[in-house]
Amino acid sequence: MAMGLLISYLCFSSLYFHFSYSSTFRLPIGVHPLDEKYFDRNVIRCKDGSRLFTRDRLNDDFCDCPDGTDEPGTSACPAGKFYCRNTGSTPRFLFSSRVNDKVCDCCDGSDEYDGTVICPNTCVMGGNVAYQTINYGSFASHVGSGDATKPKPEINMEDSMQKLIGLKAFVFLQLAIVVVVVAYRLVRCRKTRRRHSH
């Protein structure tokens, strides 16, 4: 039993160090890409100049700056603004009171990131159109025509990286569970053999 606990502790501590020290600084949720350098420092000044705050207090759901600089991705500050990337459509700012309010305001769903609501990505690639209609009657005539002139959808690298990181964490977690179960079974098997041999 102690062996299994030791192995599980080692697995989880190595996972913790891998993910906490191997990741680089990422742009916080709700921040415009042009403000990346502004938020890249360890100590950040509120945009109105009133206060300083450390990077770990960014998006911590507590309003430190009166202008909402420290909470672009939460609804903690009434004066805060949330940036919707809306990849494939028109980017825009929202009042941060609309973040995680269970209403999909950004067409890419980025304003509802807490997981209580699943927002479909309704942004249309390559344009400002909110929705695209498909004529299903003419679809059958185009099947097999091999229309190579159709533009292929772009790959969202940021989304792909997030999915890859999540998948990597899931695989490591599964591996750790397998190691713990195998170690536990080995220890039990050895104890059983010792009892039978004496």
Q: Give residue 142's pLDDT.
A: 46
Neighbours of 99 (CB within 10 A): 25
Please provide the DSSP assignment of the chain as one string: -HHHHHHHHHHHHHHHHHHHHSPPP-PPTT--GGGTTTTSSSEEE-TTSS-EEEGGGTTSSS--STT-TT-TTSSS-TT-EEEE--TTS--EEEEGGGTTSSS--STT-TT-TTSSS-----PPTTSS-S-----HHHHHHHTTS--TTSPPPPP-HHHHHHHHHHHHHHHHHHHHHHHHHHHHHHHHHHHHHHHHH-
156-184 pLDDT per residue, tens: 677 677 777 878 888 888 999 999 999 99
Q: How confident is the model at residue 26 (pLDDT cuts 50, 70, 90)?
A: low
Residue 60: is its pLDDT beyond 50?
A: yes
Taking the C-alpha atoms of residue 55 and residue 62, their distance in angstroms, rounded to an integer, is 13
Q: Report the chain's mean pLDDT, rounded to a whole number.
A: 77
What is the share, in percent, of the chain residues with pLDDT greater than 90? 39
Flag whether the pTM goes above 0.75. Answer: no
Range in 10-24, 36-50, 147-161 the model is least confident about: 10-24
What is the share, in percent, of the chain residues with pLDDT greater than 70? 69
Residue of 16 and 107 predicted with greater confidence: 107
**CB-CB contact of 46 with 52 (8 Å):** yes
